[in-house]
């Protein structure tokens, strides 16, 4: 699975500067043209055959579904264009918007949605997705939240993930400790990490991305939510992560990193997968995209731990399909395709071919889906079930990148023994409040 480790944080652009250029494209509705309505879809999945001759199953799934739609919907012709890595999708789109050459549908990281919400010609899908045939509430809550800015829906979930425990069964067996269970607390996790640590073998109980990026932050976020906390206040005007729940989460990390020294801190965030695959880490908190990096490990997967009275909350970084209004006929065609493409049957097909977690809860209810999915993609079935533990999304506001940077620096300062949890989070909260006040 070609999947980034974290969602890419984007820089806010002022779309008002390109409004005139973009609106000029709306006149070409295609309603008076003979034959099917032609629409374009931009994606970053690559070509079906990779340069080394292997099959790219993500591209195979996408293009196969597009072909199926075109055969069964003769009035619409969808052309799927590979326009480069998804990492550059936002930048390519802004260039297209400035010239009024935007596609009808484009794949975008979920973190781009707050900025794109102000883009000229973006389709506001708020009322559309509540209509017949969309079954909007079938998408997981975290996906719905990531698609929504100020109460308006601007995206349809395209890809979803989450965090869970991935553990080395051999190292657990050698240490004589039981495998993680669905009832584990964070205290159980800390105890296991300590027992799995053996300095003589350069073996650590757990690895952690400590480069102060969003990867650092969203690992903390899941623990914050598990304890009943949140990143910001409900109105997104103040920091809330320096609550008792935030201090609890950061103290847990401090215990492993500083006190027990059972946590390997990857300060460049480049070594964790290799260390786990080579047997130097007993556990990882990671996502389904990482499983293919562990061919040499007999691993297991388990949901996130909880705190007393808390939940097993996880976190996700959903990506989105974003639609643009290029005239009535093309807009209607794009909506018809997207409704079909993201329906339960097509989502299930994509999961079984590409290995993507299903974006719809109804897929998990299909007879034998999880059994077949887990057999083909070992461990991914647990990640699929774990989507029920993703209660929310990170704040869908344009200043989130700044907030993440501030939080990441605070977290790492504690992991390196340079500050204490409450102090670090309080100082970070003051900075975040200043950022939010300036919005």
DSSP per residue, 189-246: HHHHHHHH-BGGGTBEEEEEE-SSSHHHHHHHHHHHHHTT--SB-TTSSSB-TTSHHH
Burial of 275 (0-12, 13-18, 19+ CB in 10 A): middle
Three-state DSSP state, 125: coil
| % of the chain beyond a pLDDT of 90 | 90
Question: For residue range 142-198, what is the model confidence (pLDDT) as tens digits?
Answer: 999 999 999 999 999 999 999 999 999 999 999 999 999 999 999 999 999 999 999
Beta carbons of 390 and 313 less than 8 angstroms apart: yes
- Classify residue 178 by its DSSP letter: P
Measuring CA to CA, which residue among 90, 79, 5 is closest to residue 38? 79
**pLDDT recorded at residue 206:** 98
Taking each helix axis from N to C terminus, what angle separates 421-437 and 400-415, rounded to the nearest 10 degrees? 170
pLDDT band, very low/low/confident/very high, at 75 (cuts 50, 70, 90): very high
Task: Reply yes or no on whether the pLDDT at 5 is more than 60.
Answer: no
pLDDT band, very low/low/confident/very high, at 120 (cuts 50, 70, 90): confident
Question: For residue range 389-434, what is the model confidence (pLDDT) as tens digits?
Answer: 999 999 999 999 999 999 999 999 999 999 999 999 999 999 999 9
Tokens of 96: 């297209």
> Radius of gyration over alpha carbons of the chain, in Å?
22
Q: Kind and range of the H or E element at 149?
A: strand 148-149
Task: Reply yes or no on whether the pLDDT at 34 is more than 90.
Answer: no
Beta carbons of 110 and 146 less than 8 angstroms apart: yes
**pLDDT recorded at residue 439:** 61
Calpha distance 104→167 (Å, rounded): 42
Taking residues 233-257, report their average pLDDT.
98
**pLDDT recorded at residue 33:** 56
pTM for the model stands at 0.91
Calpha distance 415→303 (Å, rounded): 24
Taking residues 37-42, report their average pLDDT.
98
Beta carbons of 108 and 155 less than 8 angstroms apart: yes
User: What domains lie within the chain, and their CATH numbers?
Assistant: 15-161+317-389 (3.40.190.10), 164-315+399-437 (3.40.190.10)
DSSP states of 268-331 as a string? SS-SHHHHHHTT-EEEEEE-GGGGGG-TT--EEEEPPPB-TT---------EEEEEB-S-HHHH
**pLDDT recorded at residue 12:** 43
pLDDT band, very low/low/confident/very high, at 32 (cuts 50, 70, 90): low
Considering only residues 13 and 293, tell me which one the structure prediction assigns the higher pLDDT.
Answer: 293
Taking residues 271-280, report their average pLDDT.
98
Mean pLDDT of the chain: 93
Task: Reply yes or no on whether the pLDDT at 113 is more than 60.
Answer: yes
Tokens of 38: 């032609």
């Amino acid at each position: 699975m070609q999947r980034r480790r974290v969602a890419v944080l984007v820089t806010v652009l002022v779309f008002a500067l390109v409004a005139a250029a973009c609106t000029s494209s709306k006149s070409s509705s295609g309603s008076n043209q003979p034959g099917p309505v032609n629409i374009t879809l931009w994606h970053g999945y690559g070509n079906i055959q990779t340069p080394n001759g292997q099959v790219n199953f993500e591209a195979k799934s996408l293009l196969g579904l597009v072909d199926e739609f075109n055969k069964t919907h003769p009035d619409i012709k969808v052309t799927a264009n590979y326009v480069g890595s998804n990492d550059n999708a936002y930048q390519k789109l802004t260039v297209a918007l400035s010239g009024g050459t935007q596609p009808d549908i484009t794949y975008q990281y979920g973190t781009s949605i707050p900025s794109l919400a102000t883009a000229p010609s973006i389709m506001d899908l708020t009322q559309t997705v509540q209509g017949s045939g969309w079954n909007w509430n079938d998408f997981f809550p975290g996906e719905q939240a990531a698609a929504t800015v100020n109460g308006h829906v601007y995206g349809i979930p395209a890809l979803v993930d989450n965090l869970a425990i991935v553990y080395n069964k051999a190292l657990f067996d050698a240490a004589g400790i039981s495998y993680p269970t669905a009832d584990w607390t964070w205290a159980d996790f800390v105890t296991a990490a300590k027992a799995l640590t053996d300095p003589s073998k350069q073996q650590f109980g757990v690895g952690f991305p400590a480069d102060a990026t969003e990867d650092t932050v969203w690992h903390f976020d899941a623990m914050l939510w598990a304890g009943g906390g949140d990143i910001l206040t409900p109105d997104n005007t103040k920091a809330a992560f320096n609550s008792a729940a935030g201090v609890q989460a950061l103290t847990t990390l401090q215990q492993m990193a500083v006190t027990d020294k059972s946590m390997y801190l990857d300060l460049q965030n480049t070594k964790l997968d290799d260390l786990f695959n080579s047997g130097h880490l007993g556990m990882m908190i990671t996502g389904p995209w990482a499983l293919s990096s562990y061919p040499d490990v007999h691993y297991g997967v388990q949901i996130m731990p909880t705190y007393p009275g808390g939940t097993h909350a996880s976190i996700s970084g959903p990506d989105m399909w974003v639609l643009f209004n290029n005239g009535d006929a093309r807009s209607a065609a794009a909506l018809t395709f997207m409704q079909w493409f993201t329906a339960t049957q097509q989502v299930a097909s994509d999961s079984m071919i590409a290995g993507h977690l299903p974006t719809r809860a109804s897929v998990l209810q299909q007879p034998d889906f999880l059994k077949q999915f887990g057999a083909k993609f070992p461990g991914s079935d647990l990640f699929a079930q774990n989507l029920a533990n993703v209660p929310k999304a990170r704040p869908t506001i344009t200043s989130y990148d700044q907030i993440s940077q501030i939080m990441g620096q605070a977290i790492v300062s504690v992991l390196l023994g340079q500050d204490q949890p409450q102090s670090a989070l309080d100082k970070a909260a003051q900075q975040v409040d200043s950022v939010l006040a300036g919005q």
